[in-house]
Amino acid sequence: MKKIFLYSFLIVTSVVTLIPFIWMLSASFMPDGAASVFPPKFFPDEIVLQQYRTLFIRLNIAKNFFNSIFLSVIVTTISLFFNSMAGYAFAKYRFKGKDKLFNLLLINMIVPSQITMLPLFLMLKSVGLINTYMSIIVTGMANIFGIFLIRQHCLSIPDSLIEAARMDGATDFQIYRKIILPLAVPILVTLGIFTFLGTWNDFLWPLIALTDESMYTLPVALSNLMLEHTRDPELMMAGSVLTIIPVIIVFLALQRYYIKGIMMGSVKE
């Protein structure tokens, strides 16, 4: 009896949680005006692709989609490379000022990123990088949380492995590439999802740094579209579907790593 009650409660609350997505998906397949009726329809009378056609043909959203994919992939690749090198060095090397430097980095994790945006804008504007892909890439090339996550993982790699490789005459970079990176794959996947989704979902900085519609990432393009299409839920839902679907696919495929990363991040102290 108790079980039945708990299950029904779980099912109902799960459905309630997912209703916004269900409604979004079904409204995106409705013709103009079909989602602005009372009582609301939860499923389209017939599935039409009109909204998606408008987005791709008239509003050129493919370019924004490309921008989002391109930037997320580039930022993820570069930052995985930079963060993993730094994280490995902080875990396994001894060098002057290491602990001080690492603590300085950690303390700065509490600085809200909004602070940097005014000077960043001025800096990038003065070298002509505003409204270019570079403006997004340079700010995402490395991050403190990523270095921290990699370092924690590398601490558990036994020194003997590195030492043995060194005996065999491997250079520092070969050790990093052939021993550390393969052993760090799980944490690289975790950090990779974080970075990919973080870049994909980011809004404030792209809103500031990208000024032409053709340069917008999907969230910025959507928010811009919203200004002119406040009365077109069907069109806006199609845009939201395009923005959310890739995120959900990446998450569903790699959720194990994602959830592990959240738990790791929560045991910082």
Partner 1 sequence: MKDIKHSYSFTSTAAYFFIAPALIAILIFFFIPVIAAFIISFTDFDIYALGNFNTVRFVGINNYLRLFEDPLFWLSLKNTSYYVLLATPLSIAVSLGAALLLNSKLLKYKSIFRLSYFMPYVTTLVAVAIVWRFIYHPKFGILNYFLGLIGTNPIDWLGDPNWAMPAIVIMSVWKSFGYSMIIFIAGLQNIPEDLYEAASLEGANEWQKFKSITLPLLAPTTLFISIITIVGYFQLFAEPYIMTQGGPLNSTLSIVQYMYQEGFRWWNMGYSASIAFVLFFIILIITVIQFKVQKITSK
Stretch that binds partner 1, among 46-54, 58-66, 101-109, 182-190 (CB under 8 A): 101-109
Helix axes 218-228, 61-92, angle to 10 degrees: 140
Among 3, 128, 169, 212, indicate the residue that binds partner 1 (CB under 8 A). 3
CB of 154 to partner 1, least distance (A): 11
- Cβ atoms of 110 and 226 within 8 Å: the answer is no
Judged by CB under 8 A, the chain residues 20 through 49 that form the site for partner 1 are: 20-21, 23-24, 27, 35-40, 42
Residue 77 binds partner 1, judged by CB under 8 A: no
Q: Which two tokens stand for residue 164?
A: 């043995």
- Cβ atoms of 90 and 151 within 8 Å: the answer is yes
C-alpha span between 119 and 123 (Å, rounded): 6
Binding mask 149-168 for partner 1 (x = CB under 8 A): ----------x--xx--x--
C-alpha span between 24 and 20 (Å, rounded): 6
- Cβ atoms of 195 and 140 within 8 Å: the answer is yes
Residue 62 binds partner 1, judged by CB under 8 A: no
Stretch that binds partner 1, among 46-54, 55-63, 137-145, 182-190 (CB under 8 A): 137-145
Judged by CB under 8 A, the chain residues 169 through 188 that form the site for partner 1 are: 172-173, 176
C-alpha span between 7 and 10 (Å, rounded): 5
Residue 1 binds partner 1, judged by CB under 8 A: no
Residue 100 binds partner 1, judged by CB under 8 A: no
Judged by CB under 8 A, the chain residues 218 through 237 that form the site for partner 1 are: 218-220, 222-223, 226, 233, 236-237
φ, ψ of residue 174 in degrees (nearest 5) = -65, -40
C-alpha span between 263 and 267 (Å, rounded): 7
Residue 192 binds partner 1, judged by CB under 8 A: no
Instruction: For residue 216, give Cα distances in angstroms to 106, 118, 206, 255.
Output: 32, 19, 7, 28
- Cβ atoms of 201 and 247 within 8 Å: the answer is yes
Q: Which two tokens stand for residue 187?
A: 């944490």
Helix (H) or strand (E) holding 3: helix 2-28
CB of 185 to partner 1, least distance (A): 18
Among 47, 73, 101, 185, indicate the residue that binds partner 1 (CB under 8 A). 101
φ, ψ of residue 92 in degrees (nearest 5) = -120, -5
Size of residue set near partner 1 by CB under 8 A = 98
Give 93's DSSP letter.
Answer: -
Stretch that binds partner 1, among 43-51, 57-65, 78-86, 184-192 (CB under 8 A): 78-86
Q: Select 48 or 129, whichever has its Cβ closest to partner 1.
A: 129
Among 50, 52, 70, 92, indicate the residue that binds partner 1 (CB under 8 A). 92
Q: Select 101 or 155, whichever has its Cβ closest to partner 1.
A: 101
Among 57, 62, 185, 248, indicate the residue that binds partner 1 (CB under 8 A). 248
Among 74, 106, 123, 179, indicate the residue that binds partner 1 (CB under 8 A). 123
